[in-house]
Amino acid sequence: MITSEERAGHRSALTVMTWELWKRPLHWIVYTCSTIIAMLAFTGVFAASIAVDSSQVITCGLLAGLAIAQSEATRRIEHQRRRLSITPHVNMTSVWVLPGAFLLPPQLAALLVAVIYLHLGFRSWSGIRHVNPHRTVANATTMTLSSFAAWAVLQLSGDGSASVTSICVAAFAFFVVNTVLTGIGLYLAAPEKASAPACIGTWDDNILELSTLCLGGLVTAALTHQPALVLLVFLPLYVLQRSVLIKQLEELATTDQKTQLLNATTWQQGAVREVARAERENGQFGALMIDLDHFKSINDTYGHLAGDDVLKGVAALVKSETRTQDLAGRFGGEEFVVLLTASSKHESVAVAERIRQRISEMVIRTQDNEGNPVVIEQRTASVGVATYPLDGRTIDEVMASADASVYAAKRNGRNRVVSSPDLAAVADVAEMPLEAVAA
């Protein structure tokens, strides 16, 4: 006979086994559990060997209170920023964690991080969009180990007064450890989709984190000499968070969120400006229209998520094969467009051929709708090339020529680059039903 206690234990076991944690890759689970064990071990050693006085406890409570107050004041902004983030999210808790590394013994610094992230986790679960607890614990562990690194550097410097130099060096150690631990974790979470921006953030992300550490240094100085001045950090921090949110919203308005290329509207606006510049300077430019062949079969066979991964792969490829001053965008579906500034017909065709070749060599490792791993390769694309002013005096005329070239490429067997098709070929394509040449 099964007792009520046994039933409760069985239900508890089932609950544990259904945690989202166990759905993560095994290497990530091992890595994360190892960092947690290391953090707890260090904390235990510090607690057993370093004394704590009442003033340090008060400082810990003050920093925790300030962190929670700042989090509450900017909660809506942070929710929006987190929702829009596509790279590692910088939540700016370093402003309060770094002073803890300087002013507190390590065990209290760990307690400070625990309180801050406990509050963030509670707010996450009480909000509309929550973060899984294992992610909150992993982030808190990384911050704690980073604060330990900053504390260790400060001790090794032999400068107990926390001078400007020691603060800068320790803050840099905090930044490096935080970046490395976060990057390894994000890589192990999805190695098949790993990239430098996805794992360690963009330049803007890292500059933002360094900015929060600078504010953390100012908080340290204020608490050391004039504690009341720490209140002056709130307004700059609030403005910084709003500025980052505004930048994210601007990028959202101009960027195709699936591929991170320019969206159709923004690309068109940039192309119109390029026409005006080329006309004013008697210059030229090339335009490519890239259409993936038989793309619908990918969605039908593997699902739309696999199709999205192919689009992202092609977008990254196109970006790598074009220059910073070129305009690369997505026009919708499986169609991409590129404007090659100051490029002749010959140069534009060469770029188009290079892109076409690389697409045919592309290997995409992804999953189907059932979560089974699949490899998508040997895909092809039809590319149309047109140039200003040879093929048109407006962007609409240039793109119409490029579009006609794409259809000519599809009509003649796909997986090819076509430039300035002869009028007969274009006329033949124009007379065909759209279904006969569309991918």
Residue 371 dihedral angles phi and psi, to the nearest 5°:
85, 5
The answer to whether 40 and 113 are in contact (CB under 8 A) is no
Query: At 35, which amino acid appears?
Result: T
39 Cβ neighbours under 8 A, 6+ residues apart: 110, 141, 144, 145, 148
253 Cβ neighbours under 8 A, 6+ residues apart: 266
Residue tagged active-site, from 78, 209, 334, 335? 334
| Closest by CA position to 416, among listed 331, 318, 291 | 291
Location of structure tokens 């962190």: 67
| Closest by CA position to 73, among listed 56, 57, 92 | 92
Please, what is the end-to-end C-alpha distance for the chain in angstroms?
64
Residue 318, token pair as written in the block? 């196109």
Location of structure tokens 């410097």: 157
397 noted as active-site residue: no
Query: Which helix (H) or strand (E) is 48 found in, with range?
Result: helix 26-49
User: Would you name the residues annotated as active-site residues?
Assistant: 334
